[in-house]
Amino acid sequence: MNFKELMEFDKQIVEKYMDELLSINVIYEKKLIESMKYSVQAGGKRLRPILFLETIKLLNKNPFDFIEIACAIEMIHTYSLIHDDLPAMDNDSLRRGKPTNHVVFGEATAILAGDGLLNLAHEIMIAFVSKKLTKNNINGINIISKAAGINGMIAGQAVDIESEGKSIDIDTMKFIHSNKTGALIEASIVAAAVMSDADDTRIAALKTYAKYIGLAFQITDDILDIEGNEAELGKKIGSDELNDKATYPKYFGLEKSKEYAKNTITNAIESLNVFEPREKTFFVELADYIICRKK
Amino acid sequence: MNFKELMEFDKQIVEKYMDELLSINVIYEKKLIESMKYSVQAGGKRLRPILFLETIKLLNKNPFDFIEIACAIEMIHTYSLIHDDLPAMDNDSLRRGKPTNHVVFGEATAILAGDGLLNLAHEIMIAFVSKKLTKNNINGINIISKAAGINGMIAGQAVDIESEGKSIDIDTMKFIHSNKTGALIEASIVAAAVMSDADDTRIAALKTYAKYIGLAFQITDDILDIEGNEAELGKKIGSDELNDKATYPKYFGLEKSKEYAKNTITNAIESLNVFEPREKTFFVELADYIICRKK
């Protein structure tokens, strides 16, 4: 399979298993489950679970043995989007070309759907370790849970919200970006490495790679919010400027930001020197995809 | 120590350790941490962690070895209160005699503080198992996580919100109560039993006890919302009637509800027959406290 086919294959596998994990027969809380499914099934690149599964493969393990963890990561990502879109937060009504969760189901259900997905992700991860009780498995889910929390994703979102309309320094912007977006991307790769019993050298190399692509991903997101195509993106562009958000283009200008993203990708690829060229094809192509993507 | 002293001792220990777990030095997300601390430190009975710790003691283990789990349970309870109080949910402005989280910190931060506490609770539980990797420990946190989720607490809250102003049947009311309140109370006891390596007979007895006191707790809550003292409760009474909530008094009347609570407590105490009288003093007195409490 070439790069594009691999991406599509992983995406479909993750979506299939997420559907199964969300096939929950209930009598009373139908609306809650429906709203969780709505956001999980609303599409998306599925970048984080793909990174997780491809890292497992890179390290010669069977991705199907870890598929629930990939789904749990995507559920954490989805919950964060539902809560970020709420009126009290970014107040977005469109996501991936569809009305956001609270627009369809109301605010109360959207809050609970987010809570439900965050909790379910942890239930799935804990149940996984309960079945396969190893030090590396518990350490792997530890990495994911930490990245999602108040020293990771939630911290990034909290500072992002607080900083709206304020003039913030570059360090604060970097903090927001590396936590809000970078933390879970990094954890997807590093947790997979740990759970695949990789040695420290390989874990360290993959961690560096993950840091760089997380950064390049965010810079590209900022650029797409200026130059992107609304139809392809599935959301309105210009919202960063409208909400007076701190972005790379705002600090460095558009051209310098593009150059920065490109250099970051070069660094990402270089950090994989410890792997054989034939092993890392996917990760090299993925690094390029990160900055060339249109959505 | 007598019953009251034991309750107070456990409460103080849990509060001390929660303070430590929330002593997080951060540069940027100060407001987020502050809002999490605000709700965690706003008081409360600490019933769930007390149940957890006393069950550990009943089964001859050292509660200090499991203190983080007790704290994690209380954090889950606290997050659920923060989200329940939000304007989109119950829209409560007073809790434990203090302004609710969103009144003090704003809605966006309150949502993130809730998310943060739910995630932190899981981080703490996973880190605990990472240090003490046993089958019973992972199974214990599995029980807690499940009880908090969409087949437990969140389901109860979702159906509660959906049912407001509607005429619902008794089964639906029971579903709401047993999930919204009962699930985490039951899990506090059952998880402690599992993590203490109790045998199946004792686990089953404690599970039955937990189910009964969870039910009695909720009936009493409903009664207090009619007959309670606002100053003692730290919140307005009459909110169930105002929000047209399904309650036991609404279905069975006040006197029948009191009788029902009393019978439930008798059943709770009887279910502990497998334990020696001297072992179960605390749990017998606790059962009485559940229906005699003023807050």
The minimum CA-CA distance between B183 and chain A, rounded to whole Å, is: 14
Quickly list DSSP for B110-144: HHHHHHHHHHHHHHHHHHHHHHS--HHHHHHHHHH
The span from the CA of B117 to the CA of A165, in Å, is 27
Residues near B199 by Cβ (< 8 Å), separated by ≥ 6?
Answer: none
* Per-residue pLDDT at B246: 82
Token reading at B263 = 């019978």
The minimum CA-CA distance between B246 and chain A, rounded to whole Å, is: 14
Please indicate if any CB of chain B lies within 8 Å of the CB of A132: no
Per-residue pLDDT at A104 exceeds 90: yes
* Contact residues, chain B, for A27 at CB < 8 Å: 175
The span from the CA of A29 to the CA of B160, in Å, is 9
**Which of A80, A247, A110 has the alpha carbon at shortest distance from A180?**
A80
Which one of A40, A73, A101, A112 makes the best mutation probe of the B interface by having the most chain B beta carbons within 10 Å? A112
Please indicate if any CB of chain B lies within 8 Å of the CB of A180: no
CB pairs below 8 Å between A and B: how many? 160
Q: Which residues of B28-50 are buried (b: 16+ CB within 10 A; e: fewer)?
A: bbebbbebbbbbbebebebbbbb
Confidence of residue A118 (pLDDT cuts 50, 70, 90): very high
Q: Which residue has the tokens 């059952």?
A: B190
Please indicate if any CB of chain B lies within 8 Å of the CB of A86: yes
Pairwise CB contact (< 8 Å): B118 & A116: no
Pairwise CB contact (< 8 Å): A116 & B150: yes
Please indicate if any CB of chain A lies within 8 Å of the CB of B165: no
Pairwise CB contact (< 8 Å): A119 & B118: yes
Please indicate if any CB of chain B lies within 8 Å of the CB of A31: yes
CB atoms within 10 A of CB A26: 16
Per-residue pLDDT at A122 exceeds 90: yes
Total domains in the fold of chain A:
1
Largest Cα separation within chain A, whole Å, is 55
Please indicate if any CB of chain A lies within 8 Å of the CB of B203: no
Per-residue pLDDT at A231 exceeds 90: no
Pairwise CB contact (< 8 Å): A115 & B115: yes
The span from the CA of B89 to the CA of A106, in Å, is 10
Mean pLDDT, rounded, of chain A: 95
Each residue's pLDDT, cut to its tens digit, for chain B (295 residues) gives: 899 999 999 999 999 999 999 999 999 999 999 999 999 999 999 999 999 999 999 999 999 999 999 999 999 999 999 999 999 999 999 988 899 999 999 999 999 999 999 999 999 999 999 999 999 999 999 999 999 999 999 999 999 999 988 888 999 999 999 999 999 999 999 999 999 999 999 999 999 999 999 999 999 999 999 998 888 888 788 888 887 888 899 999 999 999 999 999 999 999 999 999 999 999 999 999 999 988 8
* Per-residue pLDDT at A243: 78
Please indicate if any CB of chain A lies within 8 Å of the CB of B168: no
Please indicate if any CB of chain A lies within 8 Å of the CB of B104: no
Residue A99's H or E segment, with its range, is strand A98-99
* Per-residue pLDDT at A143: 98
Which one of A33, A133, A150 makes the best mutation probe of the B interface by having the most chain B beta carbons within 10 Å? A150
The span from the CA of B169 to the CA of A96, in Å, is 39
Quickly list DSSP for B206-241: HHHHHHHHHHHHHHHHHHHHHH--HHHHTS-S-HHH
Which one of B22, B25, B29, B36 makes the best mutation probe of the A interface by having the most chain A beta carbons within 10 Å? B29
- Chain A residue with CA closest to B131: the answer is A135
Q: At B102, which amino acid appears?
A: H
| Cα atoms found within 13 Å of the Cα of residue A165, Cβ hemisphere only | 3
* Per-residue pLDDT at A265: 96
* Per-residue pLDDT at B265: 96
What's the pLDDT tens digit per position in A10-39?
Answer: 999 999 999 999 999 999 999 999 999 999
Per-residue pLDDT at A235 exceeds 90: no
Please indicate if any CB of chain A lies within 8 Å of the CB of B129: yes
* Per-residue pLDDT at B238: 86
Can you give the C-alpha Rg of chain A in angstroms? 18
Q: Which residue has the tokens 């804990």?
A: A126
* Per-residue pLDDT at B8: 97
Pairwise CB contact (< 8 Å): A155 & B32: yes
Considering only CB atoms, A159 lies closest to which of B29, B115, B146, namely B29
User: What's A11's domain CATH number?
Assistant: 1.10.600.10
Regarding an ipTM greater than 0.85, the answer is yes
The span from the CA of A55 to the CA of B48, in Å, is 40
Per-residue pLDDT at A294 exceeds 90: no
Confidence of residue A207 (pLDDT cuts 50, 70, 90): very high
> Where are the alpha helices (H) located in chain A, listed in sequence order?
3-21, 30-40, 47-58, 67-85, 101-105, 107-131, 135-148, 153-163, 170-177, 183-195, 200-227, 230-233, 239-242, 248-252, 254-270, 281-292
Q: Which residue has the tokens 């692509």?
A: A213
Please indicate if any CB of chain A lies within 8 Å of the CB of B81: no
Please indicate if any CB of chain A lies within 8 Å of the CB of B277: no
* Per-residue pLDDT at A241: 84
CB atoms within 10 A of CB B198: 22
* Contact residues, chain B, for A107 at CB < 8 Å: 88
Confidence of residue A68 (pLDDT cuts 50, 70, 90): very high
Per-residue pLDDT at A293 exceeds 90: no
What's the pLDDT tens digit per position in A147-206?
Answer: 999 999 999 999 999 998 888 899 999 999 999 999 999 999 999 999 999 999 999 999
- Chain B residue with CA closest to A180: the answer is B29
Please indicate if any CB of chain A lies within 8 Å of the CB of B24: yes
**Which of A283, A147, A130 has the alpha carbon at shortest distance from B146?**
A130
**Which of A11, A138, A161 has the alpha carbon at shortest distance from A86?**
A161
Considering only CB atoms, B115 lies closest to which of A88, A108, A154, namely A154
Considering only CB atoms, B154 lies closest to which of A115, A122, A139, namely A115
Residue range(s) defining the domain that contains residue A201: 3-292
Q: At B292, which amino acid appears?
A: C
Which one of A141, A154, A179 makes the best mutation probe of the B interface by having the most chain B beta carbons within 10 Å? A154
Sign of CA dihedral B106, B29, A114, A48: positive
Tell me, what DSSP letter sits at residue B157? H
* Contact residues, chain A, for B151 at CB < 8 Å: 24, 26
Pairwise CB contact (< 8 Å): A29 & B158: yes
The span from the CA of A14 to the CA of A30, in Å, is 23
Residue B94's H or E segment, with its range, is strand B94-95
Please indicate if any CB of chain A lies within 8 Å of the CB of B231: no
